[in-house]
Structures are given as C-alpha cells and as structure tokens.
Amino acid sequence: MSTAALTGVAGCLGDDENGEFPDQRINLISTYPEGSGTTAIAHRLGTEITEQSGADVEVEPIGGAAGLRGTGELFGREADGYTFALLWSPSQPLATATNPPDWDILDLSGVAEIGAYTLSLVANPDYEFEDFHDLVDRYNDGEFDTVGGLAVGHAWHITLAIARQEADWNWSNFVTFDGTNDAIRGVAAGEVPAAITTTDVAITADQEGEIDLINNFVSDGDPNAPDVPAWVDDLGMPNIDFISRYNLLAVAPPDLDADRRDELVDVLSDCVESEEYQEWADETNRIAGMGATGDDVNDMMGTVIEEIPERLDLDELLEE
C-alpha cells in the first residue's frame, strides 16, 4: 500500500457548512510508518469511519523520531476536525520529555482514547519459573542478572526499572531488541531469561509454548489474558499504569473547537464500539473501546511527563 492510502469511496463529499459532520475527506495521521501496528489500526479505523459515515479517509503514515515526526505534523494542520492523528501514551509524551521538540505535545487538542495494549513479562520456559516472586527470588540469589526489552530509555525499559525498584528485583544488565517479536525470539532462544513485551503478541507465543507469560504490569491485567497475574490486583505492587499501559489516543491540531471535537468523538465512538471493529480487535488480541475524551486525554499525557521524574532518576538509568 502507498504511503498515503485512501480508504472508502474516492473523492470528497464537499464542505460541511450545511451538512452533518463529517461530509468531506478526513485525514488520519498514523505517527508510525506503513507496516506498523499503529498504521494497521489507522487503516482499519478509516475503513470503519467510511462505513459508518460515508466520509473518505486518507491515512497518512508519518513515522520517525519515535513517533514525534507525525505528531509534530499536526501543528501545521487546520483545526477543523477533519485532521487527527493516532499516537500512544506513554510513548510520545515520554519522547518529548527526553528529546524536547520545538512544540509542546500538551498544546494538541485531545479527542479520545480509543484503545490500548498492555506490557507483560515473559520468560524462557526451560527455567520453569513458578511465578513473578519466584523469578525475582532467583534473580536476587544470583542465578540471573539480565532482562530484555526495547531501546534504553524507552517506556518498556522504564517500566522494568520501576518494577525493579518496587519489587526489590536485582537485575543489572539490559539487552535491547528491535521489537516485540524479536524480544520473544530472544527469550525463546535463551539470549535472555526474561523480557518485557506486549501482551497481545505474547499471548500467541505463550499458547505455542515458545515462552511463559509471567505477569502483566497493568494494575488489573489484560482482558485478553485474564489468567496472567496482574501487577496490583494479584501481585500487590504499586500502580504503574501510567507507563505500563499504552493508551491509543486520537489527537487533533491545537485549538480545535469543543463542539467539533465532540462531533469527532461521536464519530469515533460509533466506529470503535461497532460489532465489526470489536470483532477485529478480538481476533488480534487488541483492546478497543472508548475511554478518556477531551481535556482528560491531555491530562493522561501530562501524567506521564510529570510522573516519571517522581518515580525514577531517568538520567541515572540512562547512564547504567
């Protein structure tokens, strides 16, 4: 598929001066490249918008700079409700905190939270960890010292670092992988005894016996993996959802009119809550549904930026 793919009937439907929103083409920016999971969601969402409203949707995958290139694109677009982007919190708020751009992500117009995924700890089944507490004990006894995840300073790395503090878990070496599948392969091959990864992909790998799903890092776990111990509800650890639960957010250019925002929220709600979209989410182990809207979306991103320095010395972590 091309870099900018059209979903729906070709052509625009005109302007909306006398019609109901939306009645012209919607530009949906994916802040990750074509072929990414985020862009796959954007295409599926675009299809649903077209089916529900009749409006064309142009999906624009604009990847780069940990999602900030596509996010920054919103600052040059018109705030008319016909352009919005999909981004992830904590990813993009964290990226702006560690590598500040020349714009403030909190100036964007929050529209809605429309989905999520969670992070889990996976381990090599050959080690036969009984549970998370057994894993921590064996690390602390010196049997293991290495864990895996994505890049140093990435939200996955920070989740493990906070978990290390909260659980008195003595891991000292962090091995980086290129993505979820790479991390799972690394665990299965014995490159690392355990790693953090996305729960949706880990479910399949666990079912196939490649890895063991040890625990979920979200307070109440993942609805697609109800038997995997949850960080707060089952393990009794302090809540770290601000970093371990990835929230899929729809955001628009700054200063979007509140009435137009509410109209866009209604469009997204009709799509995300539709039977077809929910079936697709279930088939792919995704969490789809309407959550926070409006200013609460901005508050969610702001919490990431505020909370990390209070929970962790990021500079010290990056120097390890």
pLDDT, tens digit (0-9, with 9 covering 90-100), for 94-130 = 999 888 999 999 999 999 999 999 999 999 999 999 9
Per-residue pLDDT, averaged over 266-291, amounts to 95
Per-residue pLDDT, averaged over 210-215, amounts to 98
pLDDT reading at 3 higher than 50 = no
Q: Tokens 């909306």 sit at which residue?
A: 16
pLDDT for 18 equals 52
pLDDT by residue (tens digit) across 215-227?
999 999 999 999 9
pLDDT reading at 166 higher than 60 = yes
pLDDT reading at 17 higher than 80 = no
Q: What is the DSSP letter of 20?
A: P
Query: Which of 3-7, 22-26, 174-178, 250-254 has the least mean pLDDT?
Result: 3-7
Per-residue pLDDT, averaged over 38-44, amounts to 96
Tell me if 46 sits within 8 A of 57, measured CB to CB: yes
pLDDT by residue (tens digit) across 181-192?
999 999 999 999
pLDDT for 314 equals 87
Under the banding of pLDDT at 50, 70 and 90, the label for residue 14 is: very low
Under the banding of pLDDT at 50, 70 and 90, the label for residue 7 is: very low
Residue 179 or 145, more confident: 145
pLDDT reading at 4 higher than 60 = no
Nearest-10 crossing angle of helices 37-53, 258-272 = 100
Neighbours of 236 (CB within 10 A): 8
Per-residue pLDDT, averaged over 26-32, amounts to 97
pLDDT by residue (tens digit) across 72-85?
999 999 999 999 99
pLDDT reading at 8 higher than 80 = no
pLDDT reading at 1 higher than 60 = no
Q: What percent of the chain has pLDDT over 70?
A: 94
Average pLDDT of the residues of the chain: 93
pLDDT for 318 equals 85
Per-residue pLDDT, averaged over 267-292, amounts to 95
Dist CA 314 CA 98 (whole Å): 9
Neighbours of 146 (CB within 10 A): 15
pLDDT reading at 15 higher than 90 = no
Under the banding of pLDDT at 50, 70 and 90, the label for residue 203 is: very high
pLDDT reading at 198 higher than 90 = yes
pLDDT for 297 equals 98
Residue 7 or 150, more confident: 150
Encode burial over 5-23: b for 16+ CB neighbours within 10 A, e otherwise.
Answer: bbbbeeeebeebeeeebbb
Per-residue pLDDT, averaged over 51-60, amounts to 96
Under the banding of pLDDT at 50, 70 and 90, the label for residue 319 is: confident
Alpha helices per DSSP H over the chain: 37-53, 68-73, 91-98, 132-140, 155-167, 180-188, 199-207, 241-244, 258-272, 275-283, 295-311, 314-319
